[in-house]
């Protein structure tokens, strides 16, 4: 990271993002679910009922639950069914994604596609590795670049400077962010995760997907999202802010025990998923 001579500017910018008003408030439904779960008397069915009350949101959640993401052979037709089949954490992640969907779409052209592509790739890698938490890892992939959304919507001028720098100096998006702001969307993601009280399973991949070797609580999830981000960019699916494949962390590669020959089966499984994800591109 380049040392910034102007520390006070950096602090200023940081404060700006940290200012509660500037960070988007946690979606109401997500806050409600979190409160409900704190109560030991709450059952999964209660949570299901709460989500189902919002029909627009539920419809979005069900569309994702029935998309190529999960490759369900039978249709999931209700939130309660989704809770049983996909599990509470996954449904909560889909609720969160659905409630920030408009924000993601507004923030940056192609970022939603980048996000669903990275989600699909995370799921495929996790399944290839024989993990039983593939669905949950997928959700972490879905939300990994949420920091970019906050940057675009809450600091639009800085966003413009970052985008100009990417174009002028042929940089990765996070490099340009660090030059302009001295922090990047991964850090913003971390602040947002704290502010929204998101679980570590989502927070760590958000924070460390560009430096996966730093993850301590969910190192494998973070490593999977890191590799998935590389795959979607290599496929040219969506737009993550620049058109380059990021460098790979060999620590992430090794922790997963991946080998070069794994690329072929992973990409062959990913391709049909990506091409059928276009029914998610307009989630409304």
Partner 1 sequence: MKRIPVDQAKPGQILAESIARHDGVLLANQGSEVSEGLLRMLVRLNVDTIVIEEEEGRTEEEIRASHGENLSRLDRAFRRVGGQPVLMALKKTLAFLSKEEMEKGIFALRESQEKGADEAQAANGTQPEEGQGEAVSPPPKAGAKASKRQGKDQAKDQVKD
> Is residue 128 within the footprint of partner 1 (CB under 8 A)?
no
> Is residue 58 within the footprint of partner 1 (CB under 8 A)?
no
**CA–CA gap between residue 86 and residue 202 (Å, rounded):** 16
> Is residue 110 within the footprint of partner 1 (CB under 8 A)?
no
> Is residue 172 within the footprint of partner 1 (CB under 8 A)?
yes
Closest among 60, 140, 148 to 111, alpha carbons compared:
148
Residue 275 touches which of partner 1, Fe ion, none (Cβ within 5-8 Å per kind): partner 1
> Is residue 235 within the footprint of partner 1 (CB under 8 A)?
yes
Closest among 242, 4, 224 to 128, alpha carbons compared:
224
Closest among 225, 239, 236 to 275, alpha carbons compared:
236
Nearer to partner 1, 33 or 113 (CB): 113
Residue 75 touches which of Fe ion, partner 1, none (Cβ within 5-8 Å per kind): partner 1
The residue within the footprint of partner 1, chosen from 130, 264, 282, 284 (CB under 8 A), is 264
> Is residue 276 within the footprint of partner 1 (CB under 8 A)?
yes
> Is residue 231 within the footprint of partner 1 (CB under 8 A)?
yes
Given phi > 0 = left and psi -120 to 50 = alpha, else beta, which region is 46? alpha
Nearer to partner 1, 2 or 43 (CB): 2
Binding mask 241-260 for partner 1 (x = CB under 8 A): --xxxxxx-x--x------x
Which residues contact partner 1 by CB under 8 A? 63, 66-68, 75, 172, 230-231, 233-236, 243-248, 250, 253, 260, 263-264, 267-268, 271-272, 275-276, 278-279
């Amino acid at each position: 990271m380049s040392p910034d001579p102007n520390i006070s500017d950096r602090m200023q910018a940081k404060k700006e993002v940290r200012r509660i008003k500037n960070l988007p408030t946690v979606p109401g439904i997500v806050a409600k679910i979190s409160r409900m779960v704190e109560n030991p008397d709450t059952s999964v069915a209660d949570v299901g009922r709460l989500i189902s009350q919002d029909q627009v949101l539920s419809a979005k959640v069900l569309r994702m639950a029935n998309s190529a993401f999960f490759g369900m052979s039978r249709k999931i037709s209700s939130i309660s069914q989704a809770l049983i089949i996909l599990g509470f954490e996954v449904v909560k992640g889909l609720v969160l994604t659905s409630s920030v969907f408009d924000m993601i779409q507004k923030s940056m052209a192609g970022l939603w596609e980048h996000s669903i592509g990275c989600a699909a790739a995370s799921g495929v890698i996790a399944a290839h590795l024989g993990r039983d938490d593939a669905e949950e890892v997928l959700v972490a992939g879905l939300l990994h670049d949420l920091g970019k959304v906050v940057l675009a919507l809450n600091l639009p001028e800085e966003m413009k400077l970052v985008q100009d720098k990417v174009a002028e100096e042929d940089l990765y998006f996070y490099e340009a962010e660090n030059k302009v702001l001295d922090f990047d969307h991964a850090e913003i993601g971390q602040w947002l995760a704290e502010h929204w009280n998101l679980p570590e399973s989502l927070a760590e991949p958000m924070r460390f997907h560009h430096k996966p070797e730093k993850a301590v609580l969910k190192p494998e999830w973070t490593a999977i999202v890191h590799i998935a981000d590389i795959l979607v960019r290599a496929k040219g699916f969506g737009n993550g802010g620049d058109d380059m494949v990021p460098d790979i962390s060999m620590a992430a590669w090794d922790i997963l025990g991946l080998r070069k020959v794994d690329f072929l089966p992973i990409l062959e499984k990913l391709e049909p998923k990506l091409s059928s994800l276009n029914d998610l591109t307009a989630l409304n």
